Amino acid sequence: MKPLSVKQEEIIKDETLDFRENQKERENSKLSHGTVQKSDPYSDMLVHSDFTISVSCESELPQPRTAHIGTKTFQCPESDKCLSVNASLGKHRVHRGEKVFACLECEKCFRTTGQLTVHGRIHTGEKPYTCCECEKCFRTNSDLTVHERIHPGKKQFACSECGKCFGTKRNVCIHEKIHTGEKLFACSECEKCFRTKGQLTVHERFHTGEKPFACSECGKCFRTKGDLTVHERTHTGEKPFACSECGKCFRTKGELTVHERIHTGEKPFACSECDKSFKIKSELTVHERIHTGEKPFACSECGKCFGTNCEFTKHKHVHTGEKQFA
């Protein structure tokens, strides 16, 4: 059992004094009306367990402390919810917004011991919930439930337009905006719009230059946690995505998807001008410059422009005098 903080001890002391004063007033009132008081050896008894306070119920006759275990006899004064202990003694803090359970590592505070326990797993690294399909572990049961839906037969939420399935209702709502074209989140700098607040936040970092995710190995920084995760695999050598056809492994799911098109022959990116198709979007973009005449790579020495970065790189050797190797 963790020790109480100074703040928690003060709250317990104040609430205990209030309880005893209220009880004394009730006893005096009963005496003034000729009521005989019988002592209750279990009143005024406080038990500290996992930062919670438990007070025995007032009774004219002594009752065992276990009389109300498993029952909810006290109604919360702020709502219709019933509690197993007196709400006025601080057990039901949800309406008051009190956060008296502090993390010993980072001092972040929570309303309940359950929330504190889950938070503590961030520091300990504990992940007690394991997926029976892939053995991936999670800090909470709800995280595991959401994850399990990625496995075949576990995706419960289907798009009403195309039938594509997702593990959460939130993800299917985000996906459906592709069909409606809805983009409610606009950048204040360039007015570009996005389907989610998260996408807007990442985009805004292009303007601010913010890169909050730093590699612990080399210090290189990234705009998103996903970019950092992929980068860290250059240090660890991890390639978790394997091709089912040839067994070749890749660092990202995107790289695997592009590779698999070698086996399937799929070329999903078609030119609107000549119907030529490509395996990846960047190849289509370069190809389309043949039709548009766009040459975005300009030499700062002579002003000559090129349609691809590869052509531009070769041209720069003309000015530097470096020899090119075939």
**Is 80 exceeded by the pLDDT of residue 228?**
yes
SS3 248: coil
Which residue's structure tokens are 């989140």? 185
Share of the chain above pLDDT 70, in %: 67
Give the span between the Cα atoms of 37 and 58, in whole angstroms. 12
pLDDT of residue 157: 79
Burial letters 232-249, b for 16+ CB under 10 A, else e: beeeeeeeebeeeeeeee
Q: What is the mean pLDDT of residues 11-29?
A: 58
Give me the pLDDT at residue 134, please: 78
State residue 172's pLDDT score: 83
- Band (pLDDT 50/70/90 cuts) for residue 123 is confident
CA gap 140, 130 in Å, rounded: 10
For domain 1-14+88-126, give its CATH number from 3.40.50.300, 3.40.50.970, 1.10.10.60, 3.30.160.60: 3.30.160.60
Q: Is the pLDDT reported for residue 287 higher than 50?
A: yes
**15-29, 242-256, 310-324: least confident range:** 15-29
Output the average pLDDT for the chain. 75
Residue 146 confidence (pLDDT): 75
Residue 89 has pLDDT above 50, yes or no: no
Place of tokens 């309940």: 112
In which band, very low, low, confident or very high, does the pLDDT at 203 lie, cut at 50, 70 and 90? very high
pLDDT of 100 strictly over 60: yes
Q: What percentage of the chain's residues is helix, strand, coil (to nearest 5)?
A: 40, 15, 50
Q: Residue 153: what pLDDT?
A: 61
Query: Any idea which of 53-62, 180-189, 225-234 has the lowest mean pLDDT?
Result: 53-62
pLDDT of residue 260: 93
pLDDT at 63 over 50: no
If pLDDT is split at 50, 70 and 90, which confidence band does 57 have?
A: very low
Confidence tier at 271 by pLDDT (50, 70, 90)? very high
- In the chain, where are the structural domains located? 1-14+88-126, 241-292
Per-residue pLDDT for 315 more than 60? yes
* Interatomic CA distance for residues 53 and 97, integer angstroms: 17
> Which segment of 35-49, 106-120, 160-174, 230-244 scores lowest on mean pLDDT?
35-49
Residue 268 CA to residue 280 CA, distance in Å, equals 8
**Per mean pLDDT, which range of 1-15, 112-126, 144-158, 223-237 is the poorest?**
1-15
DSSP per residue over 35-104, as a string? PPP---TTTT-EEEETTEEEEPPP-SS---GGGGTT---EE-TTSS-EESS-GGGTS--TTTT---EE-T
Give the whole-number percent of the chain exceeding pLDDT 90.
21
Q: Determine which of 129-133, 215-219, 231-235 has the lowest per-residue pLDDT on average.
A: 129-133
Nearest CA-CA partner of 230 in 210, 258, 250: 250
Q: In this structure, which topology does domain 241-292 adopt according to CATH?
A: Double Stranded RNA Binding Domain (3.30.160)
Most confident of 25-29, 149-153, 168-172: 168-172
Closest by CA position to 202, among listed 231, 226, 177 = 226
| Over residues 77-88, mean pLDDT | 56
Please answer whether residues 291 and 301 qualify as being in contact, where contact means their C-beta atoms are separated by less than 8 angstroms: no
